[in-house]
Amino acid sequence: MDKTANILLCGVGGQGILLASEIISSALMNAGYDVKQSEVHGMAQRGGSVISHIRFGKKVYSPLIEPGSADIVVSFEMLEALRYLPYMNKKTRVIVNTQKILPAPVATGIDTYPQDILDRLRQRGLAVFPVDAFETAKSMGETRAVNMILVGALSAFLSLDEKVFLQVITGRIPEKIRKVNTEAFIKGRETVSALQKKKTKQLRSN
């Protein structure tokens, strides 16, 4: 693969996007790719909107994804998927955690949370893969595993062996919460694999 591939993660400060980015980037490195991953710390993390750029390929130069060139977007919060539309193109695959985290203007009643986010993405011809990561994580008894469910969801689109990810998770996550995070990864991966199969079937029947 000569062309550099672009993965954009977006969401809200505190959702574990930086750890998710690190795990994805490490897995890509272990699979033999050159990788660059860019993020911003400090002021941006206090409940604000957060993005992380991951670029991989044979040789990566710029650490930043250009507008319109994200191959995959993983939105850790539903509204954030709309915010980063300019990074997408018609071929972008968009994984959306359907969890809502109200931004301050919405929480205080100044603004309203858009109702039709998934439709608005689909209307633009985007392939949308909704994942209810928060509810899934909750049912597993660990709401902080949302990020690992989404890493699993993303992994379904990459040609890397599942084992590469699992090795990175084992090396990076403390033992106490390793099992639940591994299960979360697998759950996310299965969810999106199932959605992919469904989409392929739909395409065939069309």
Partner 1 sequence: MGKMKARAAVEKKVLLSGNEAIARGAYEAGVKVASAYPGTPSTEILENLCTYEGVYTEWAPNEKVALEVALGASFAGVRSLAAMKHVGLNVAADPLFTAAYTGVRGGLVIVTADDPEMHSSQNEQDNRNYAFAAKVPMLEPADAAEAKEFLKIAYRISEEFDTPVLLRTTTRVAHVKGIVTTGSVETSSVKPGIEKMPEKFVMLPSNARKRRVELEKRMARLREFAETFPENRMGWGDRGKGFITSSVSYLYVKEAFPEASLLKLGMVYPFPEKMIRDFASKVEELYIVEELDPFIELHVKAMGIRCKGKDVIPSMGELNSHIVRKAITGEATKPQFELVPIPLRPPNLCPGCPHRGIFYGLSKLGVFIAGDIGCYTLAALKPLSAMDSCICMGASIGTAFGMEKALGKDSLGKIVAVIGDSTFIHSGITGLIDIVYNKGFSTVIILDNRTTGMTGHQPNPSTGVTITGDTGTGIDIEALCRAIGIRHVYTVNPNDIEATQKIVKQEIERSEPSVIITKAPCVLLPEMKKRKDKKLYIVIPEKCTGCRTCLKLGCPAIEWAPLTPEEAKKLGYKETQKGYSRINAALCDGCGQCAPLCKFKAIIVAGEDNG
Q: Does the protein bind partner 1 through residue 89 (CB under 8 A)?
A: yes
Residue from 47, 171, 194, 200 binding partner 1 (CB under 8 A): 47
Q: Does the protein bind partner 1 through residue 98 (CB under 8 A)?
A: no
User: What distance in Å separates the CA atoms of residue 180 and residue 184, rounded to the nearest whole number?
Assistant: 6
Residue from 51, 88, 151, 184 binding partner 1 (CB under 8 A): 88
Residue from 1, 2, 3, 61 binding partner 1 (CB under 8 A): 61
Half-sphere exposure of 25 (CA within 13 A, CB side): 20
**Closest CB to partner 1 among 102 and 180?**
102
Q: Does the protein bind partner 1 through residue 120 (CB under 8 A)?
A: yes
Name which of residues 146 to 175 contact partner 1 (CB under 8 A): none
Q: Does the protein bind partner 1 through residue 176 (CB under 8 A)?
A: no
* Contacts with partner 1, residue ranges (CB under 8 A): 12-13, 21-22, 25-26, 29, 34-49, 60-64, 66-68, 79-80, 82-83, 85-86, 88-90, 102-109, 111-114, 120, 124, 143
